[in-house]
Every structure is written in structure tokens, then in C-alpha cells.
Amino acid sequence: MKTEMIKKAGAALMSAAMAINGALYSASYVTAADAPVKVEFESAKISGDVTVEKDSFASGGSALKMTDSGTIELTVKVDQSGPYKLTFYAYGIGSDKQQNLSVNGTSQGAIGIPQGTEYTAIAVPAVMLKAGDNNIVIEKSWGWSQFDYLTAEPMDAVKVEAKQIKPCDQLATVETQSLMAYLSEVYGKHIISGQQEIYSGGPHGLETEFEYLKNTTGHYPAIRGFDYGNFCCPLYGSDDGSTDRIIDWVKNKGGIATASYHLNVPKQFANYTIGTKMDWSQTTYTAKDTDFSPSKAATEGTKENEYYLSTLKTLAKEFNKLEAQGIPVIWRPLHEAEGGGGENGSWFWWGREGSAAYKKLWIYTYNTLTNDLNCHNLIWEWNSYNFDTSKDWYPGDSYVDIIGYDKYSCTDWSTGSARYYHNDSPFASTFYGIMDKYDSAKMISLAENDCFSTPEKMQEEGAAWLYFCTWYDGGSDTTDFLSNPTFNTKEDTIAMYQSDYCITLDELPANLYQRDDVTPPDPSKTTTTTTTTTDPNVTTTTTAYKFEIQKKSVTIPDKPALAIGKEMQISITGAPNASLGGAVGFGTTADDWKNIEWKGTADKDGKLTVHVDLNEMPDNFKTCEVQVWWSNTWDAASEKAIDQPYTIDSCEFHYLMGGALEPLWGDANCDGTVDLADAILIMQALANPDKYGENGSDKHHLTETGKLQADVDTNTKGLTGDDAVLIQEYLLKKVTTLSPFEK
């Protein structure tokens, strides 16, 4: 947000106050040496259409405005080498924007800059900095942006993990479970090689990329990428042999199969008659060239749904063939939905109506293939970006097994036209940004890439991608992603495929799909219902989701002096219009355990937020447990409640503030006195909110009561650096009171 940070004159006053009143400093707070390095953007070297603008809301009184072109070059000096979190305070002018970031000559990808008029903290984690001076460059990519300052904060050792490593489909086959178990074993330790095959009828044969790799490196990739978009398209599609090639790759060669779904729709769907064949030129998968509605595609009874469901039925027959052969598939449909970022940046039709419609379509696709059409050999991979808005597009943990990122880092659009250059950055900051965004729930892959970097850079920077899958050679210098040295040199390709870090086809285990530690799915844990398809003469047996209670432990923060109540805010994503209920429980033993029950109904997008009154829970409890006891929808035909999957998104404990106690104005750290430590805590909370803000990780972080008592300056709204300055002036006896009501 736009923050009126402490002025440079205030910083000087702080230094003077510390020198005069050194005894007031509390040793329990971090020293200046522990604070993040801060650099004002107005000190940068600039070029092109970048200007210095006066801004009273900016940290140093000025900011940089980037419009049609240019670069911003900063020097950040740190004492020790290692991974750092860079935080940029900026906003997009008019809408969400993105600009290219490089550090010491290595691309870190694009940073997404949210729309606004207030400076927002944009964190880029796990950026490797060297001891001494580091060169930070922001280069124009898209849109006008304004920059205030950046901070660099050292990160502790970051753990690469995935908390959810079992398929979200409870009836996943043994082979599917075995593949997931293997992927989880190598995650963070190795990267699995992969290559996308070209489409049938392309500028060269289907085996060209694979023979190039074998001849160049001596190895085939472990993963082969396929696409079912042509096969399943009812407009012009035909059997291109994808299923047979998957069977050969997995059964005969021992490889891993992944598949995407570039499914075309009519450009003018409103005028289209279901069942009509069309020439390819009258179809598209882009967002701008069609009126096809993804929301309606997920709505029964619509023409769009009839069209889309027919493609899924065609697809399911192929997946059922593979399942009968014991073959799982890493399935990546509806990819790259967010596109260029935000709600309106999609370049594919499945994202053209924004995130809510997209999630509805993804969940419909999952439920149709898994529950209705009995495809239990799928590992569901969803594409994310690392924009501030990317999580808005996430369908939820219950519908995703792997999160993929598509990296095309060798093309620069900053000048308005494409410039191609070799960029072998491992994109470590993007990897850790995505891992953090989804709370390390899922394994993260490079589902598509141009350059796959080098094993040395990946290991040095900790870019622990699960696998890479290089896109095919498209037949020109700008699309030959595998063999053109602009993207991947022969030397780098050999180094990658021959390194111990990279797993190739010949290194996959013999028991890849039949592990001893995997047991067959237990149908007794599911319920079976029978539904009728659109054809009244055909019925399908559907294996439904079996409800399981979820529990989440919540730590209770210390009670502020002015608190008059407490509550739990629970946010859940489930089925649209589902009934959900449960309790917040507390106790020390089974005998004294108590539950405060709650219930609610999800909205049309499956979202539910409830507030549970916890005033009957004694203040001495430091933890409590959120439980979900049911999640179902009512089926009028069978007059039964049908269990529905759900995810607990967040559980937030809140104190309700009020009361008659008079605040001790200026006492930010709530220790009963007003001293310099209070001013220091305010500055720390503003400069590093993740550590010292209201929800910060440091045990001496600002509390809700402390924030209330620290807001003493009446000239500025909310907590700002001016509050810290006023406290210092009070300590130096320049003002007589800190009460905002006595001025």
C-alpha cells in the first residue's frame, strides 16, 4: 500500500536520539545490522522513458515512473553471499503490470505489479546475491509502473518440500500412486528430463527431437509430452496415434507420459450447430478470437457444455484404454489460464472470462473425468504464474496434484517487438515464489520451457524444479526451442543430460509403476451412485468422493489488553452451494474437550467464510483445533446428501478490540513504558512487516494493541514513520503529550 514512511530527516533524528538516549534501547529488538538493506529508487541509474517524480507518499519524497520504455539500474550492497528476499514497493498505473527483473546479469523473470495508487510490497524470494555490490536491473516489459524503494533481506535455508504427495483422486490406480511416490522421492534432489513431441503433420517427424537428444547426449528424456487437442476436437479431429505412442513410450520404453489439451472451439460459437464439421481455419483456442464461454461449458444444459462434454467423453475413452494397460498420465489441461496476469490477461479461451469461470471449468473437468467417466490414472497438473493475482486462479488442493510453470525466458518484448537471446537463468526466485504462494502443498515443475538452464546453476541457486519439458522445434529460428543455440546450446544440452543431477529415460527405476509400498485403492472408502448420461439409454456408474474429516491446529496469540472478545475466521473452498459444518475444539484431555459448532453454505463458486464466536473458550488455552464434520450437497433425485470434496484455505484467530481501558499512547511494544524501543519497533514493522508487523514471525512483533497505541500522529492516517518521529520528539521533550485527543 502507499505508506508515508519516515522521512530522511526523521531518520537523522532517530540516530541523534539513539546517541543521546542509548540506555533506552531494548536489547530484545534487532539491531540495525539485522535490518533489511533499503535502496531508494530515485538513486538509480535510469534510461529511456523513466523519470523521477516528486511524491509526498514515497519513502524518500520521490519515486521513479516508468512509462513506454527504459531501464532502472540499482546497486544493492550486502555483507554476505546467499539467498535474499527482494521486496519491491511499487504499483501499476491503471491496471496490473509486469516488468523484467535481472540480478547480476541473470534474468529472474517478470515481476507482477498490482494495479493501484498505493505502493504495494512485491516479494521476490530466493534471489542469490554475492557479498558486496549487486546489480539490480528492471527493464520495461509491459505497462506503466511507479517504484518507491526496494529492500533486500537474507533468507534462512529454504526447505524444498511438498506436503501433499498422494493423488487427489482417492481411487487412483496403483500405477498412478506409484508414479506419484517416485516423483516425490526425487523432488528437490534431482530434475527429471522431458521433451514435448511435435504435432502430427508438423515440419518434421514425431521422433526428430528425441533422436536429436539421443545422438547429441547419448540419452533419451525420461518424460515425453503429448497433446490430445487434435484427437478430441469434434470439429476436425482424428486419431493421430497419441494413445498408441503413449503405450509404446511407457510400456515398451519404460518412460513417463505427460499430456496437454490444446482444444479448439468454433470462432463463432453462437452460430455453430453441434455436430457440424469445420475447417481448422474457422476454429481457435485463443481468447480474443471466439465467443465460446468457459462458464457455460461447465454448466449443464448449455450448448457450450454439450460441446465440451463430448470432447471429454472422447478423451476418457483414450484414458480408459491407457488405464487398462496400467499406464498413468501426468495430465495438464486448461494450461496457462492467467496468461499475462490478472483477470483479463488470458490468451486461451478457457481463461477469457476470468478466474472464477476458469476454476468452475477446471473442477467440472476434474469431476467429469474422475467421477463420471472413471479415469483414475491421471496425475492432475495445473499451471501457475508468479503474479500477485495468480493464486486467484488456483482450483484448490483437492483438484490438483502438481503445479507447473511454463518458462519462456529467451524472448524479450520490452521494445514492442520480440528480441531473442540466450537466457539460461534457472528462475530460482520464481520456483520459491510459487512454492511460497501455495504453502509448499504441491510439487512444482517446469511443465514447458524454452531453455532448461544448466545443472550447475540449478543446484547453486536451489531451483528444485521436479522436471522440465522442453517445447518442440517449430521449424524456424525463433521456434526451434530444443536445437537452436539461442535457446539451448549443444554444450548445455550435453551437460544437462549427462549430469548426475538430471534423470534420463535409462535411469528410471524398473518398478516405476509397481511399488511394493503402494496398495490398491479401497472401494469401501467411497460410495457408489448411478447417474444417467445425456443418452437416456446409457447409464454410467460413478464412484463418488468419500468424505473425510479434516483438522487444523491453530496457535492462539497473546490476548491484548483492550480485547473484549475473540473469534475464529474459517475460509473453505468446496463444491458450489455445498453445506459444510464442523467445530472449533479445545481442551487438555478427551474428558474435558469441548466443541463450539459452526455451519454454513458455500456460494456458487464453492467459497465459504464463517466467523465462530470463541468467548466461552478460557483465555489460558494457547491452541485450538478447527474441524470440518461434513461437506455435502443434496441430490433431489435420490433424496440423499452426496459427499463433496473441500479444502480448508485458512483459519485466522481474531481478538475483538474495545473496552474502557485508556491506551498508553506511544507504547508500541506494550511493555508499560514509552521509550525509544517503541519508535524502533514502528520502523521495523513498516520496513519488514513479514517479521515485525501484526502477523510477523518475530516473537516481539507489533500486536494489534501495540499498533493502536502507536498511532499517535494526527496529521497522517494509520501507522506511519511520522508516529515514530513524534515518539522521539516526546522523548526529547519537544512535545508534551502523545495522546491524539489532547492536541
Residue 424 DSSP one-character state: -
Cell numbers placing 288: 480474443
Give me the chain's average pLDDT, please: 87
pLDDT digits (tens, 9 = 90+) for 129-139: 989 999 999 99
The residues, any chain, with a CB within 8 Å of residue 31's CB and separated by 6 or more, are none
Angle CA 207–211–215, to nearest 5? 175
Angle CA 643–649–651, to nearest 5? 110
The string of DSSP letters for 79-105 reads: SS-EEEEEEEEEEESSS-EEEEEEETT
Q: Lowest-pLDDT range, 20-24, 32-36, 484-488, 621-625?
A: 20-24
Residue 661 DSSP one-character state: P
Strand partners, 599: 581
> What is the rounded CA–CA span in Å between residue 372 and residue 529?
10
The residues, any chain, with a CB within 8 Å of residue 167's CB and separated by 6 or more, are 176, 177, 180, 379, 380, 401
The Cβ of residue 654 has, within 10 Å, a number of other Cβ atoms equal to 15
CA distances from 486 to 107, 195, 411, 419 (A): 15, 17, 10, 11
Residue 5 DSSP one-character state: P
Question: Given the C-alpha cell 450448448, which residue does it identify?
Answer: 303
CB half-sphere exposure, 3, CA atoms < 13 A: 23
Rg value, the chain, Cα:
28
Cell numbers placing 306: 454439450
> What is the rounded CA–CA span in Å between residue 690 and residue 41?
21
- Judged against a pLDDT cut of 80, whether residue 3 lies above it is answered with no
Helices (H), 21-118: none
Q: Where is 319: in which H helix or E strand?
A: helix 303-324
**Per-residue pLDDT, 2:** 28
36: pLDDT confidence band, cut at 50, 70 and 90? confident
Cell numbers placing 402: 502438481
The residues, any chain, with a CB within 8 Å of residue 50's CB and separated by 6 or more, are 64, 65, 66, 67, 70, 71, 72
Decide which of 446 and 11 is more confident: 446
The mean pLDDT value for 104-119 works out to 87
The string of DSSP letters for 657-673 reads: E--SPPP-TT-TT-SSS
- Give the pairing of strands 607-613 and 647-657: unpaired
> What is the rounded CA–CA span in Å between residue 649 and residue 422?
40
Cell numbers placing 293: 464461454
pLDDT digits (tens, 9 = 90+) for 505-560: 999 999 999 999 898 887 655 544 333 333 333 333 444 566 778 888 898 988 88
Phi, psi of 153 (to 5 degrees): -130, 125
Helices (H), 100-186: 174-186
CA distances from 2 to 111, 310, 681, 702 (A): 18, 50, 19, 19
- Cβ atoms of 456 and 191 closer than 8 Å: no
Cell numbers placing 316: 476418457
Instruction: Provide the 3-class DSSP secondary structure of residue 392.
Output: helix
- Cβ atoms of 199 and 232 closer than 8 Å: no
> What is the rounded CA–CA span in Å between residue 624 and residue 615?
13
- Give the pairing of strands 191-192 and 502-503: parallel
> What is the rounded CA–CA span in Å between residue 217 and residue 488?
13
> What is the rounded CA–CA span in Å between residue 162 and residue 439?
9
Q: Lowest-pLDDT range, 267-271, 400-404, 738-742?
A: 738-742
Instruction: Provide the 3-class DSSP secondary structure of residue 561.
Output: coil
Q: Lowest-pLDDT range, 9-23, 204-218, 275-289?
A: 9-23
387: pLDDT confidence band, cut at 50, 70 and 90? confident
Strand partners, 484: none
Cell numbers placing 720: 506511519
Instruction: Provide the 3-class DSSP secondary structure of residue 721.
Output: helix
- Judged against a pLDDT cut of 80, whether residue 273 lies above it is answered with yes
Phi, psi of 569 (to 5 degrees): -100, 115
- Cβ atoms of 180 and 515 closer than 8 Å: no
pLDDT digits (tens, 9 = 90+) for 670-708: 888 898 889 989 988 998 888 888 888 887 889 888 888
15: pLDDT confidence band, cut at 50, 70 and 90? very low
- Give the pairing of strands 579-586 and 594-601: antiparallel
Decide which of 359 and 115 is more confident: 359
Residue 704 DSSP one-character state: H
Instruction: Provide the 3-class DSSP secondary structure of residue 433.
Output: helix
The residues, any chain, with a CB within 8 Å of residue 327's CB and separated by 6 or more, are 175, 246, 247, 250, 251, 257, 377, 513
- Cβ atoms of 502 and 186 closer than 8 Å: no
> What is the rounded CA–CA span in Å between residue 319 and residue 261?
13
Among 412, 303, 339, which Cα is nearest to 69's?
412
